[in-house]
Amino acid sequence: MKVNQGQNLTYYSFDIFITNKTSTGWTTPERLSDSINTNASDFYATISSSKNIYFARRGKSNDIYVSYFVDNKYQKAVLLDKSINTERNE
């Protein structure tokens, strides 16, 4: 499994997409749900071995969020706490 970012011209922002490796190559990238993607730019995604997705979102600053993979679906992304995010760009 691989996460990608791409420009979403509908929202004029960056969104996070996912694709899977098969025996014949990669599947077509699919935009992840609105539990992860917002009208803001969501980018620099990485996926953990437990399938949680960590990524940056451009707001007042570029903060780091996580969307937990629970019961085979991604949960609403949450902002990581102040031990990770500061008042500056991460």
pLDDT tens figures, 21-76: 999 999 998 889 999 998 888 889 999 999 999 999 887 778 899 999 999 999 99
Q: Which amino acid is at 40?
A: A
pLDDT at 11 over 80: no
Beta bridge partners of 1: none
Q: What is the pTM of this model?
A: 0.79
The residue with tokens 């011209």 is 9
Query: What is the rounded CA–CA span in Å between residue 54 and residue 79?
Result: 10
